[in-house]
Amino acid sequence: TMPFSVYLQQVDPDLAGLLSAVADASVKLSDAVRNAPLRNLTGAMDTTNVQGEIVQKLDDYSNQVLMDYCKASVACAGYLSEENEGVTTMNETGSLVIAVDPLDGSSNIDIAAPIGTIFAIWKRKSVAGPILESDFLQKGDECIAAGYVLYGSATMLMLSVGKGVQLFALNSSTATYMSVNSNVQLPSIGKIYSMNQGNLSKFEQAAKRFVAHCTETDKDTSRPYSIRYIGSMVGDMYRTFLKGGVFLYPAYEGETKGKLRLLYECIPMSFLAEQAGGMGTNGKERILSLQPTGLHERCAIVIGSSALVDLYLSFSK
C-alpha cells in the first residue's frame, strides 16, 4: 500500500507541502491524545474561547501544534482556528489559507472516546502581505482540499483534493500514514441516523418530522432506523462515510443556524461528502454554495447518504 508521502507526489507542490505539515502535526497530536492522561492534557484551562466555550487543555495544545506546523509550511499564508478570535498571518508570500477545528469532540477527551482534527484549505484571495479576513470568507465550492483526522481506536486521515476521497491509516510504529482506500464512496442509502435527539424540542419542524419518520415501523424500508451518536463530528462522520446514514445538527426552531461552525466543520465535511458521492445541506441549501459572512459563523447541517438528505429536504418544504 502507498505511503501518504508518495500519494502527495501527484498533488500541486504548495498544497502537498501544507498537507504534509498538517499530517505531521496530526501524528504528534495522535500521540498526545493517546497519552493525554499521563501528560497533563486532560481537563480544562481556566479560559474560554471566542465562542464563549470552555477550552480544554488538549484544545489549546492542538491549536499550538497546528500553528507551529502550518507556520513552518512556506505555502501557508494564513490560519484560522476555532480557538483563535481572528486570522493569523503565517507566511506573507504563501498562496494558501487553512481553517481548522484543532480538536473536535472536546467533551470526549476526558472519557478516552473518539476525537479528531478537521481542516479546509483555500487559495488566498489577496496577493501578498498580511492575510485578511476576506481571504477566509470563501465558499466551500472554492475549497481546494479538505479533510479530517480521527483519533479513534485507529488514527485515520480522510482527505480530498477535489479528486474523490482518499483514506489513510496511521502506522504508529513508523509514524507514517498508509493508503487504505483510494476511492471512498459514501453509500447512497443507510439505516443509521446520528443526532443529539435530546435537543429535539429545540430543533426546526423538519427535524421533528425526520425523527418521526426514522422512528416509525415500516418493514419495506427497514424502519425504525438505528441511532448512533458518538458526540464528535469526526467520529460520527467516519461511520457515516463507511456505513452510510445521516448526521444532523439541525437549525434551531425559528433560526437558520445550528451549533456547528461553517468554515472549519460544515464546509470540510460537506466537501468530503460530495466528493464521496454524498450530500451536505443546511436543510435548505447546499452547504458548499453558502457565502460565509463571519469567521466563526454557525451553520445547520444534514449530511450523509443522498437518500436520507433528500428525505430531510422533502420535510423542509
- Residues in contact with Mn ion by CB under 5 A are 82, 101, 103-104
Cβ 141 vs Cβ 158: under 8 Å? no
CB burial of 74-92 (b: ≥16 within 10 Å; e: otherwise) equals: bbbbbbbbbbbeebbbbbe
Residues sharing a CB contact under 8 Å with residue 83, sequence separation 6 or more, in sequence order: 49, 50, 55, 59, 60, 63, 102
CA dist 10 and 22 (Å) reads: 17
Residue among 77 and 237 whose Cβ is closer to ligand AHG: 237
Task: Give min distance, CB of 56 to Mn ion, in A.
Answer: 9
Instruction: Name the helix (H) or strand (E) containing 92.
Output: none
How many beta carbons lie within 10 A of that of residue 176, not counting itself? 15
Instruction: Name the helix (H) or strand (E) containing 106.
Output: none
* Torsion sign, CA atoms 141, 142, 145, 148: negative
Binding mask 18-57 for ligand AHG (x = CB under 6 A): ----------------------------------------
Residue among 104 and 135 whose Cβ is closer to Mn ion: 104
Task: Give min distance, CB of 81 to ligand AHG, in A.
Answer: 10
Task: Give min distance, CB of 14 to ligand AHG, in A.
Answer: 27
Residue among 8 and 118 whose Cβ is closer to ligand AHG: 118
Residue 240's binding partner out of ligand AHG, Mn ion, none, with CB under 5 to 8 Å set by partner kind: none
| Residue 270 binds ligand AHG (CB under 6 A) | no
CA dist 17 and 19 (Å) reads: 6
C-alpha cell at 208: 421533528
Amino acid at 113: A
| Residue 232 binds ligand AHG (CB under 6 A) | yes
| Residue 106 binds ligand AHG (CB under 6 A) | yes
Q: What is the DSSP letter of 244?
A: -
Residue 232's binding partner out of Mn ion, ligand AHG, none, with CB under 5 to 8 Å set by partner kind: ligand AHG
Q: What is the DSSP letter of 236?
A: H
Report 233-262 residues binding ligand AHG (CB under 6 A).
233, 259
With contacts defined by CB under 6 A, name the span among 2-10, 102-110, 285-293, 303-311 that binds ligand AHG. 102-110
Amino acid at 241: F
CA dist 81 and 64 (Å) reads: 10
Residue among 182 and 196 whose Cβ is closer to ligand AHG: 196
Give the count of residues interacting with ligand AHG (CB under 6 A). 11
Task: Give min distance, CB of 106 to ligand AHG, in A.
Answer: 4
Using CB under 6 A, pick the residue from 83, 104, 204, 274 that binds ligand AHG: 104
Site residues (vs ligand AHG, CB under 6 A): 82, 101, 104-107, 196, 231-233, 259
